[in-house]
Amino acid sequence: MVCEKETKVIMEKIKLYFIVLGVFFLVLCVPPDTVNQSLQDKKELDSLRNLRCPRLMSSAAEYYRNRDWRQTVKIYKEITNLDCDEWNPIYAPPQEIYQYYAIAYEQMGRFDSSENVLLDGLQKLPNNVDLRKRLAYSYKKQGKYEQEIIEYERLVEMVPEEISIMNDLSKLYKENDRYDDQIFILEKILTLDGSNEIAQSELAMAFENSGKDPLDVYRKRYEDNPDNLSYGLDYADRLNQVERQEDAIPILKEVIRQDPSSKLAYRKLAESSISIDALEDAARAYEELFKIDPRDIKVAISISDVYLENNDYRQAIKWADKATTLDSKNAEALGQKGKVYYYGWDNFRQNPFTNDDRIVAKLSYNYFVKAVEKGYRGFEKINWMKENEKDILYGRAQWFMAIDKVKRSRIISTTTADYEWVNETLKAEEGWK
C-alpha cells in the first residue's frame, strides 16, 4: 500500500514537471511579433510616444507656420510611423496629421506624394469629408480628372444633403462635357432646394450644352415660383432669344404688375416691343421707366431713338432736349440732338435745298461738333457735312440773301410746315457780314 501511494505521488510530480516544461517551450516558440506586443513592450512603446509625439507635433506645427515644407514633411513622416494619432487623438488628431502632411507635399508640388498620404489617412478615416476633398484636389492637380470626379461622387454618397459638394460635382461634370450627368446632379440639388437660382441657371445651360431645349426649364421654374420675379425675367430673356417676343411681353407685363418699380422689366419690355416693331408700346415702356428714374439720360435718349425710328420728330427732339437739359455737356445727349436734326433734314430736304433745309442741316452739324468735342463716338456726319458745307449748310451765302428783319435780329429760324417740330434757331456767326 505504501509503495503504491509513493508511486502515485512520484507520477503526479513527473506530470507537473512535464506541464511546466511544455509551457516553457511554448513561450520559447512564440513569434517575435507577438512578443513585441507583450504588455511590457507596449508600455515601452507608449512611453516612447508619450515622450516623442508631443515634441513632434509641436515641431510640425512650427515648421508648418514657417512654411518649411521639407522639414514639415520629415516630421509628419515620423509622426505617422510612430502612429501618434493612435497614441492620443486629442493631442494628435488624425485628420489634422494627414491633412497638414498632404498640404506640405502640395506646397512642394509633389501631388503624387500628397495623394499617397491622403490614401493612407483614408484607410484610418474612410468617412472623413475633408481628407476626401483634399484627395480630389490632388487628383485635379495631377490631371486625374476621372478620379477627381469619382471622389466627389463618393462625397455625394457620404453627405447626400450637402448642396455645396453637389455644386462642385456639377462644375466637374460641366468641365468634362458630361452634361447628362450634370443635369442629373442639378435636378438632385433642386429636389433639395427648389428655389436655388444658381442650380436653375446651370440646369438651363446644361440642357442647352447637351443639345436639349432649356426653355422648358425656364418655364417650369417660373410657373412653379410665380412670385420669383427674377425667374420671370429669365424666362422672358429666353423667349426673346428664340425670337418669341410676343410670348415674352405678357411675362414682362406680369412682372411689372407685381413690381411696378422694376426698371429692368420696363427696359426688357421696351426692347421686346422694339423687336416686333411695336414702337408706341416701346416708347410707353421707356417713358414709364423714365418716371421711375427721371434723371437717367440714357433712358431719355432711348425714348428719343424710338420716336425717331417711328419718324415722330417732334417727340424725338423733345426727349433729346430732356437729355441735354439733364446735362448740357453730355456727349451722348448732344449727339442725339444732332442725329434727330440730321434724320429730319434727310427726310424732308428738297431738291434743290431750301433755306429751311440748310438751317436744320446747320443745327445738326453744330450739335455734332459739340458732341465730338465731348468725346462722342456714336452716329455723326460731321466730316461729310464739313466737306459739303457749301452745298448743304446755312452759311454766309444764305445770310447775304436774308431779309432785313432777320439781319437786324441776327436770328434765323425755320418757317415751313415740314420743320414745325424744330424748336431752335440759328444765331448769325461773326463771319456772316
Give the model confidence (pLDDT) of 7-52 as tens digits: 554 555 455 444 444 544 444 554 544 444 455 555 666 677 788 8
- Identify which of 308, 330, 414 has the alpha carbon closest to the alpha carbon of residue 375: 330
What is the percent of the chain where pLDDT is above 70? 89
Q: Is the pLDDT of residue 262 over 50?
A: yes
Q: What is the pLDDT of residues 122-154, one digit of tens each?
A: 999 999 999 999 999 999 999 999 999 999 999
Is the separation of the CB atoms in 359 and 394 below 8 Å?
Answer: yes
Domain range annotation of the chain: 52-159
- Identify which of 334, 337, 359 has the alpha carbon closest to the alpha carbon of residue 348: 359
**Backbone angles phi and psi of 428, in degrees to 5:** -60, 135
With residues binned 3-state (H G I as helix, E B as strand, rest as coil), the percentages for the chain, rounded to 5, are: 75, 0, 25
Helix or strand run (H / E) with residue 16? helix 2-28
User: 233 or 38: whose pLDDT is higher?
Assistant: 233
Q: What is the pLDDT of residue 1?
A: 45
User: 420 or 45: whose pLDDT is higher?
Assistant: 420
Q: Which fold has domain 52-159?
A: 1.25.40
Helix (H, G, I), strand (E, B) or coil at 252: helix
Q: What is the pLDDT of residue 26?
A: 45
Q: What is the pLDDT of residue 178?
A: 95
Cα 342–344–349 angle (5° rounding)? Answer: 95
Q: Which residues pair with 427 in a beta bridge?
A: 411
Which DSSP string do the residues of 237-283 spell out, in sequence order?
A: HHHHHTT-HHHHHHHHHHHHHH-TT-HHHHHHHHHHHHHTT-HHHHH
Write out the three cell numbers for 307: 420716336
Kindly give, in sequence order, each residue whose CB lies less than 8 Å from that of residue 378, ignoring residues fewer than 6 positions away. 332, 335, 339, 371
Q: Considering the entire predicted model, what is its pTM?
A: 0.61
